[in-house]
């Protein structure tokens, strides 16, 4: 599916490594690195970057940096977002105003949640750059040699200076990055004390942030969840899912790969947890939240369903023998479902920019910062949470029995199987949430529920797919095109639905074996 710009033209994935260097270090010869034909030396830049954040540095705590840079080839406003093994950098023009551009503020909305921001540091850099060029003169990587002066801003002002080397990939690969870093280290450079200039500048204010004494704190959190109260476990899980939702927010806005899916999962996990742990929390607080999370999940679901159906149906068409694809089937599928995704994604972004979502973020923030715990939440975790999981299991059993009782009524049977799937997913999430307490028992239970969820998820996909194929066939007929291929795909979907039900029954036997030991 064609995504909506990332995919923005002004966003790119940044892959770099930073090193500390003594003032007298001499840069090594870099022309012999893998794929490097020659090195172009000499460009010198004077850069000034002013960094913006809330007074509690919440953006930096979450791995985001927002700055206004002058000088150099990339002058402008930059927002850097964490991404697996790298960072995504979004640019906006410098302009005349020092007001942060609204599009960048929107990308930080899930973190700021209405909190005002102001300059927190100014970093001035004298930079000498070496460009590593390939045989075709394409830039493979850039090595920057920086002399840095950093000044914190606000109530307490500090000034510090240091030398830093940075290797950033352009068109080169990880092999070149590793080789360049190795060469610099052989010359005397060493791993950077911090991950960024900003982190180093603000070092005195960053104690206790992620990455600071992380291992010890993580171990302490695990011990608290294992030995603490039921409320401790519930709130640790809710906090983690709120963090996941906030992390996916900017990725959804930028239409990055799998972002809609992951934000939908975080939203559903939050909603499921509010049900699983409902006796541990004040329902006057949690019930309205459940409704708002459903609203958000439904919006995300429309985009995700279009995305899934688009990929699946194109794959189905491509798998057919050529002589059985009659008419412009692939083109029609691609056009129809691409448009559906774009429309649904635009609706998601409008919602993320609206007041209802802002209020939801504030409510979730209040939930995790000031937990509305009931008296029951103070009970020991193991016996109390086992009861919660047992109830989730019993609900799945009841719904499965109801689905089997109406097997002769296809539409009702399909609807009830879908309810089993949703219940199994909630039970799976519940099992995963108590793994810090019950370990392998909870993991086995969650895995068994996931198998049921997946089998019935595939089954539900065939239900949606069959309706979609009927609609596409009707449109093809109205346009004078042949609907043969849509009918063939519909028949194949029906056959897969039968196999999915068989897979469900097999997964059910595995669940019964698992649940006979735990949480029974």
Q: Which of 322, 338, 370 is the last residue of a domain?
A: 370
Band the pLDDT of 87: cuts 50, 70, 90.
confident
**Do residue 200 and residue 138 come from a single domain?**
yes
| Dist. CA 61–CA 174, nearest whole Å | 27
- Name residues whose C-beta falls within 8 Å of residue 27's C-beta, 6 or more positions apart in sequence: 130, 143, 145, 165, 184, 187
Predicted confidence (pLDDT) at residue 130 exceeds the cutoff of 50: yes
Structural domain boundaries, residue 282:
226-370
Residues 443-457 have a mean pLDDT of 97
Predicted confidence (pLDDT) at residue 194 exceeds the cutoff of 80: yes
pLDDT in the model for residue 84: 78
- Looking up tokens 């609204």 gives 102
Across 197-201, 299-303, 376-380, 491-495, least confident range: 197-201
**Do residue 358 and residue 393 come from a single domain?**
no
pLDDT in the model for residue 317: 96
pLDDT in the model for residue 212: 38
**Do residue 402 and residue 518 come from a single domain?**
yes
**Structure pTM?**
0.86
- Looking up tokens 């992380």 gives 214
pLDDT digits (tens, 9 = 90+) for 213-256: 333 344 444 444 455 899 999 999 999 999 999 999 999 999 99
Whether 451 is covered by a domain: the verdict is yes
- Looking up tokens 């279009």 gives 306
pLDDT in the model for residue 209: 47
Whether 413 is covered by a domain: the verdict is yes
Residues 125-135 have a mean pLDDT of 94
- Name residues whose C-beta falls within 8 Å of residue 475's C-beta, 6 or more positions apart in sequence: 332, 336
**Do residue 169 and residue 230 come from a single domain?**
no
**Do residue 76 and residue 177 come from a single domain?**
yes
The first and second tokens of residue 431, run together, are 């099992």
pLDDT in the model for residue 210: 45
| Dist. CA 395–CA 134, nearest whole Å | 62
Report the number of distinct structural domains present in the chain.
3
**Do residue 365 and residue 418 come from a single domain?**
no
pLDDT in the model for residue 216: 38
| Percent of all residues in the chain with a pLDDT value above 90, rounded to a whole number | 83
Whether 282 is covered by a domain: the verdict is yes
**Do residue 47 and residue 78 come from a single domain?**
yes
| Dist. CA 264–CA 247, nearest whole Å | 12
Whether 217 is covered by a domain: the verdict is no
**Do residue 277 and residue 299 come from a single domain?**
yes
pLDDT digits (tens, 9 = 90+) for 57-77: 999 989 999 999 999 888 999
Q: Which of 370, 395, 419 is the last residue of a domain?
A: 370
Residues 30-57 have a mean pLDDT of 92
Q: What is the CATH number of the domain that holds 356?
A: 1.40.20.10
pLDDT in the model for residue 214: 36
pLDDT in the model for residue 3: 45
**Do residue 232 and residue 192 come from a single domain?**
no
Whether 253 is covered by a domain: the verdict is yes
**Do residue 433 and residue 299 come from a single domain?**
no
**Do residue 119 and residue 234 come from a single domain?**
no
| Helices 329-352 and 440-478: angle between axes, nearest 10 degrees | 120
Whether 230 is covered by a domain: the verdict is yes
**Do residue 247 and residue 270 come from a single domain?**
yes
Could you tell me where the DSSP H helices lie in 173-325?
Answer: 174-186, 197-201, 214-227, 230-253, 259-276, 283-319
Band the pLDDT of 110: cuts 50, 70, 90.
very high
Whether 51 is covered by a domain: the verdict is yes
Whether 1 is covered by a domain: the verdict is no
Q: Which residues pair with 150 in a beta bridge?
A: 123, 160
pLDDT digits (tens, 9 = 90+) for 421-434: 999 999 999 999 99
Q: What is the CATH number of the domain that holds 68?
A: 2.40.320.10
Sign of the Cα pseudo-torsion (383, 389, 394, 397, in order): negative
Task: Please name the helix (run of DSSP H) or strand (run of DSSP E) that holds residue 498, with its range, or none.
Answer: helix 484-515
Predicted confidence (pLDDT) at residue 1 exceeds the cutoff of 80: no
Comparing C-alpha atoms, which of 30, 82, 482 is closest to residue 243? 82
């Amino acid at each position: 599916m064609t995504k909506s710009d990332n995919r923005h033209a002004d966003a790119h994935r940044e892959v770099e490594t930073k090193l500390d260097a003594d003032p007298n270090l001499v840069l090594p010869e870099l022309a012999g690195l893998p794929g490097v034909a020659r090195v172009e030396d000499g460009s010198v830049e004077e850069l000034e970057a002013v960094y913006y954040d809330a007074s509690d540095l919440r953006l930096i705590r979450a791995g985001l940096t927002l700055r206004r840079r002058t000088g150099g080839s990339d002058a402008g406003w930059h927002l850097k977002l964490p991404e697996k093994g790298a960072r995504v950098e979004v640019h906006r023009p410098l302009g005349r105003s020092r007001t942060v551009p609204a599009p960048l503020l929107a990308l930080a909305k899930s973190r700021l949640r209405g909190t005002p921001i102001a300059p927190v540091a100014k970093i001035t850099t004298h930079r000498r750059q070496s460009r590593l060029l390939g045989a075709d003169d394409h830039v493979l990587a850039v090595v920057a040699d920086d002399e840095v002066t950093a000044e914190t801003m606000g109530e307490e002002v500090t000034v510090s200076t240091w030398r830093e080397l940075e290797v950033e990939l352009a068109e080169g690969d990880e092999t070149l990055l590793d080789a360049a870093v190795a060469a610099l280290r052989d010359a005397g450079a060493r791993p950077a004390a911090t991950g960024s200039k900003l982190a180093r500048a603000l070092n005195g204010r960053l104690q206790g942030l992620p990455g600071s004494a992380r291992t010890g704190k993580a171990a302490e959190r695990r011990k608290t969840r294992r030995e603490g109260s039921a409320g401790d476990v519930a709130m640790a899980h809710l906090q983690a899912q709120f963090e996941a939702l906030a992390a996916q927010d900017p990725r959804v806005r930028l239409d990055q790969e799998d972002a809609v899916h992951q934000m939908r999962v975080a939203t559903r996990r939050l909603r499921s947890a509010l049900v699983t742990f409902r006796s541990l929390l004040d329902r006057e607080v949690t019930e309205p939240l459940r409704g708002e999370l459903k609203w958000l999940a439904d919006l995300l679901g429309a985009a995700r369903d279009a995305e899934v159906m688009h990929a699946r149906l194109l794959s189905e068409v491509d798998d057919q023998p050529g002589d059985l694809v009659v008419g412009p089937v692939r083109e029609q599928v691609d056009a129809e479902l691409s448009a559906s995704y774009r429309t649904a994604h635009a609706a998601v972004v409008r919602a993320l920019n609206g007041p209802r979502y802002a209020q939801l973020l504030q409510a979730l923030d209040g939930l995790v910062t000031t937990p509305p715990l009931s008296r029951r939440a103070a009970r020991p975790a193991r016996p109390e949470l086992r009861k919660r999981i047992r109830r989730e299991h019993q609900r799945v059993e009841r719904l499965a029995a109801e689905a089997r009782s109406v097997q002769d009524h296809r539409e009702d049977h399909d609807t009830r199987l879908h309810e089993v799937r949703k219940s199994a997913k909630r039970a799976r999430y519940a099992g995963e949430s108590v793994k810090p307490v019950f370990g392998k028992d909870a993991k086995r239970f969650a895995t068994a529920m996931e198998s049921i969820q997946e089998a019935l998820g595939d089954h539900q996909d065939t239900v949606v797919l069959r309706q979609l194929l009927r609609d596409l066939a009707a449109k093809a007929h109205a346009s004078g095109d042949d609907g043969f291929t849509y009918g063939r795909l519909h028949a194949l979907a029906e056959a897969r639905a039968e196999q999915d039900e068989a897979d469900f029954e097999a997964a059910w036997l595995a669940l019964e074996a698992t649940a006979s030991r735990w949480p029974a």
